[in-house]
Chains A and B, each alone.
Chain A
Amino acid sequence: MATLKDLRGDTPSWCPGCGHFSIMAGIQKAVVQLGYEPHEFAIISGIGCSGKVSEYVRTNGFHTIHGRSVPVAQGVKMGNPDLKVIASGGDGDGYGIGLGHFVHASRRNIDMSYIVMDNNIYGLTKGQTSPRSEHGFVTKTTKEGNKEYPVDPVSTSLANGATFVAQAFAGDIKQMVDIIERAIEHKGFSHVNIYSPCVTFNKVNTYDFYKERLTKIEKPFEDRDEALAKVRELSGLVTGVLYEEKRPDFQGKLGIEFDTQSCTNGEMDEDLFHKMEKQFQ
């Protein structure tokens, strides 16, 4: 049985107090508590302070490029359906540059989890506005206040068919670990948005800000519309599993007997060659 120590990777370089620490710990704890071994997982991360999580959690990790953790992660699962796959990154990574992939992953329903560390700001590039920043939010690139309105992540995945949608808060590790565990065990695309305060650059969306405002949803809504309505009513300031649905995942629907790993050194398959050649004769 793996212990938390087995899941310790490189030494984190995050600012002390950064919400990302708790999320890293949450992933480690979930893997251990579910009884998995580090080698069974692949964590595919994007770029940002958050993206470093694939190096800090000791499982297989792929630190990819900005905004592309989700397509790479889906490919990893297609390449080896036996792996447990987690994609992770920041709100800029996932809802800015990578938003398109997130929407498509929601509707595609490949069996993987997507954990977003949402700090409503760009951390690694030192504090610019993010697609999750509130209207009016002042940053180096929105000196007069943000004129846009934020992306609504959970409503996006809900509206686009994700089969597991949840939200958590880095300040509530117990609930977060429970949610991550359920997301990992969910068969299909599970989206977990986690509020993760950036203590260095975001002086608005702090731990206290969330503590005062978040409402816990005790059990998932029966249908998407109810979940969407509640999220809207509470301006997205909710935590808990909002929606969960049992539906065959993408690979199951393909109905293919996957045989992707058996390519070994040697001659081409002669029988297969002659079979294929016929259609061109």
Chain B
Amino acid sequence: MRESVEWMVGGQQGEGVDSTGELFAKTLVRYGYSVSTYKQFMSRIKGGHTNYKIKATEKQNYYSGDGIDILLCLDKETLPKNEQSLNQGAVVIQEGKEILVEAGQASTGVSYTTFTLPLKKIATDLGNPLAKNMIALGISAGLVELPVEILNGFIEEIFGKKGEEVINSNKQAVLKGVELTKEHVPNQIKPLSVVPVSNQLFISGNEATAFGSLMAGCRYLSAYPITPASEVMEWLSDELPKVGGTVMQVEDEIAGICFAIGASYSGTRAMTSTSGPGLSLKTEALGMAGMSEVPIVIVNSQRGGPSTGLPTKHEQSDLQQMIYGTHGEIPRIVLYAATIEDAFYIAAEAFNLADQYQCPVIVGLDLGLSMNKMTVPTFDSKRVKIDRGKLITDEEAKDFNETHFKRYRLTEDGISPRPLPGMPHAVHTTSSNEHDESGYISEDQTNRINMMRKRLEKVRDAMIQEPFKYDDNGGESEIVLVGMGSTYGMIQETIKQLNEEGVINASHIHIQQLYPLPIDKLQPLIDGKRVVTVENNYNGQLLQLLRQHAPIHNNSEAITQYDGDPFTVSTIAKQVKELISWQR
């Protein structure tokens, strides 16, 4: 029995690679496994090689894995492109004229088995040429002995509207696949052990973010479509109207943030979602939200930059843009979920922080987190409670007894009671100009100093429930690996591997609150250690951020990758080893 399997399907875009991958992933999820996935795709609709990678494990895992046990090739490119990732004893399923089982050897030295068969012809013989991917799924299921009932259940869900005939031909295809496996490649791969089914969700980072936002009471999103953020608006487009809210696809990203600021100003929890190019366009309005102290949540799912860059590839290069972007100095909070599970809570907390601190909150994501699905234990709806901060009622506003309500009242904590437009006793002015307490333009120097202090000091103590994740990996370590976003699982596994190999023990910090950086809490964990950031950008933006806050200049490096692909455990491990030897 095996406790995990790594599976990949590759093919040309538009050939059903995604749907085939997702179906196999869901089957594994229903079987009780914890599944992580990664989709490779290109910025075009038809053609071009794409693949869908799955790692299924008994216990929760956060990384789709370096290797492949079963490789399903729907095109000629899949094998050469992925041969180097094959694990010892892997099975490669590919289309060919006749049934053939052969031994193969990869450039890495591992040996594998190719199972060639005329998938299209077999499907046609079964009466449904479209079912060839189902045969391949049947083979995959057969290899690891997954019960076909699960696949059949999905077939009924997917093809329900198309009638009995289609359902039956697809079920037959799956069965055929299982039979072919038994006949030609029996016992090639160890079957998966049976695990108890728990309450897991199979969800992407975008969906978790959108779900968390909705649960936090967000009822308005305005945005402009952009990869890899579009699903946030797409999911909410389906769900918000059911609860009295709206999603608007507006004319551009500037409108996206401005509409949301307007909606938030008038009392609705509101957000916009985008990726780097959109965030660039939004930065002036981001400053307006900071200056006028209007709460707003901005989701930024990073992709390969700069400019149009690598629109469908992974990168983490907007850190500085998220923390510093916009002219002048504004209060803001920048969060970045470590895992899909965290994305739900971070989104919900973002709305609280925006209301509590009356400022923009940026929720960072990256393509790796955004677009890939993973199993997570179902969310705890009690963990984050809705807190609207110093929002006041008309009754409370009335007690101030002011003809023109002082929206920017100077207070001890810098946060002013906030009424909403429409309240009879709280007519007030909101402004992007420097203003006095009444909201009216003021260029008075004393006022300016007071207002700058008010705005910039108020967020100093902002803190989410889990500003970073920390794992000392059960022992003393000289080195600490620091990451953010979707590298969480890879770093975790790298450390485990290095530990097992006896190379080094490293601790792991994964930062979820980038600004204000919780440096007081971080300091004791990095003191005296060699700090190595692991990040998907050229300049080592996370390293620079840490160096700005902690005296680590002589004892810190960044491991970077900016080729559009996510890290693998082996690349991180190799670089860590190089760093260690270089020190010696």
Give the B-binding residues of A (Cβ under 8 A).
9-10, 37-40, 42, 44, 47, 52, 54-55, 58-65, 68, 71-80, 82-83, 100-101, 104, 254, 256-270, 272-273, 276-277, 280-281
B85 CB, min distance to chain A CBs, angstroms: 29
- How far apart are the CA atoms of A260 and B259 in the complex, in Å? 14
Contacts of B387 in A (CB 8 A): 265
Given contacts A101-B255, A281-B201, is CB(A38)–CB(B386) below 8 Å? Answer: no
B432 CB, min distance to chain A CBs, angstroms: 5
- How far apart are the CA atoms of A9 and B264 in the complex, in Å? 23
- How far apart are the CA atoms of A101 and B256 in the complex, in Å? 11
B376 CB, min distance to chain A CBs, angstroms: 9
Q: Is the CB of A280 within 8 A of B382?
A: no
Partner of B255, one of A52, A76, A104, A265: A104
Contacts of A266 in B (CB 8 A): 385-386
Given contacts A63-B430, A83-B422, is CB(A256)–CB(B241) below 8 Å? Answer: yes
Partner of B422, one of A9, A61, A82: A82
Number of interface residues of B (CB under 8 A): 73
- How far apart are the CA atoms of A37 and B220 in the complex, in Å? 27
A44 CB, min distance to chain B CBs, angstroms: 7
16 contacts between A and B (CB under 8 A): A39-B422, A39-B423, A55-B439, A58-B404, A61-B429, A61-B430, A71-B254, A75-B270, A76-B263, A77-B262, A78-B222, A78-B246, A79-B220, A254-B241, A276-B214, A281-B202
- Kindly supply a per-residue 1/0 record for chain B positions 434-462, scoring 1 wherever the CB is within 8 Å of any chain A CB and 0 otherwise: 00001111000000000000000000000
Nearest B residue to A7 via CB reads B427
- Kindly supply a per-residue 1/0 record for chain B positions 231-258, scoring 1 wherever the CB is within 8 Å of any chain A CB and 0 otherwise: 0000000010101111010111011001
Contacts of B529 in A (CB 8 A): none
B570 lies within 8 A of chain A by Cβ? no
Q: Is the CB of A37 within 8 A of B424?
A: yes
B394 CB, min distance to chain A CBs, angstroms: 9
Given contacts A267-B386, A268-B386, is CB(A75)–CB(B258) below 8 Å? Answer: yes
Q: Is the CB of B382 within 8 A of A75?
A: no
B420 lies within 8 A of chain A by Cβ? yes
Given contacts A83-B421, A101-B255, A104-B251, is CB(A78)–CB(B215) below 8 Å? Answer: no
Give the A-binding residues of B (Cβ under 8 A).
199-203, 207, 211, 214-217, 219-220, 222, 239, 241, 243-246, 248, 250-252, 254-255, 258-270, 284-285, 287-288, 292, 348, 378-379, 381-382, 384-388, 404, 420-433, 438-441
Nearest B residue to A266 via CB reads B386
Partner of B219, one of A62, A100, A259: A259
Q: Is the CB of B388 within 8 A of A265?
A: yes
Instruction: Tell me the total A-B contact number using a CB cutoff of 8 A.
Output: 215
Residue from A73, A79, A254 whose CB has the most chain B CB atoms within 10 Å = A79
Nearest B residue to A280 via CB reads B201
Q: Is the CB of A80 within 8 A of B243?
A: no
Q: Is the CB of A260 within 8 A of B219?
A: yes
Q: Is the CB of B262 within 8 A of A72?
A: yes
- Closest 6 CB pairs between A and B? A75-B262, A259-B244, A263-B217, A79-B263, A79-B266, A60-B421
- How far apart are the CA atoms of A60 and B429 in the complex, in Å? 6
Partner of B203, one of A40, A47, A263, A280: A280
B206 CB, min distance to chain A CBs, angstroms: 12
- How far apart are the CA atoms of A267 and B381 in the complex, in Å? 8
Known contacts A63-B433, A65-B288, A75-B261; 17 additional CB pairs below 8 A are A39-B423, A52-B441, A55-B431, A63-B430, A75-B222, A76-B263, A78-B246, A78-B262, A80-B420, A83-B421, A104-B251, A104-B255, A256-B241, A261-B420, A265-B385, A265-B386, A280-B201
Contacts of A72 in B (CB 8 A): 258-259, 261-262, 265
Given contacts A61-B439, A71-B259, A265-B385, is CB(A259)–CB(B270) below 8 Å? Answer: no
Q: Is the CB of B441 within 8 A of A10?
A: yes
Q: Is the CB of A71 within 8 A of B422?
A: no
Contacts of A265 in B (CB 8 A): 385-388
A230 CB, min distance to chain B CBs, angstroms: 29
Q: Is the CB of B216 within 8 A of A76?
A: no
A81 CB, min distance to chain B CBs, angstroms: 9
Contacts of B244 in A (CB 8 A): 256-260, 262
- How far apart are the CA atoms of A264 and B387 in the complex, in Å? 7
Nearest B residue to A63 via CB reads B431
Q: Is the CB of A101 within 8 A of B262?
A: no
Given contacts A63-B432, A79-B220, A100-B252, is CB(A270)–CB(B381) below 8 Å? Answer: yes
Partner of A64, one of B219, B245, B252, B432: B432
Q: Is the CB of A80 within 8 A of B266?
A: yes
Given contacts A39-B424, A76-B421, A265-B385, is CB(A260)–CB(B429) below 8 Å? Answer: no
Partner of A71, one of B214, B262, B287, B379: B262
A251 CB, min distance to chain B CBs, angstroms: 8
Q: Is the CB of A268 within 8 A of B215?
A: yes
Residue from B258, B270, B420, B440 whose CB has the most chain A CB atoms within 10 Å = B258
Contacts of A257 in B (CB 8 A): 244
Partner of B388, one of A60, A264, A270: A264
B372 CB, min distance to chain A CBs, angstroms: 14
A105 CB, min distance to chain B CBs, angstroms: 9
- How far apart are the CA atoms of A125 and B214 in the complex, in Å? 43
Contacts of B241 in A (CB 8 A): 254, 256
